């Protein structure tokens, strides 16, 4: 039952872009984790630029390095 929460700076994302993104992520999870497409859920969560460090970097990237599988190059 994988759930993917994608945090990003606020920007316009069309319904078609959301659909394509969800399909790509679901396909990757099916392939690499052996789950089924119907078990996957995906959310897009806009985070304001001035809140990024406090909301994402500190608690999720720096605060949980044991879970991080790809480190961003801006750190």
Given the residues 2, 10, 59, 72, the one annotated as active site: 2
User: 37: phi > 0 → left, psi -120 to 50 → alpha, else beta; which?
Assistant: alpha
The distance from CA 63 to its chain's CA centroid, rounded to whole angstroms, is: 17
What one-character DSSP code corresponds to residue 12? -
65 is catalytic: no
Catalytic residues: 2
């Amino acid at each position: 039952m994988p759930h993917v929460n994608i945090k990003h700076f606020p920007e316009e994302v069309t319904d078609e872009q959301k659909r394509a993104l969800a399909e790509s992520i679901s396909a990757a999870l099916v392939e690499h984790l052996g789950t089924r497409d119907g078990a996957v859920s995906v959310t897009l969560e806009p985070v304001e630029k001035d809140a990024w460090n406090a909301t994402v970097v500190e608690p999720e990237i720096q605060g949980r390095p044991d879970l991080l599988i790809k480190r961003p190059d801006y750190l």
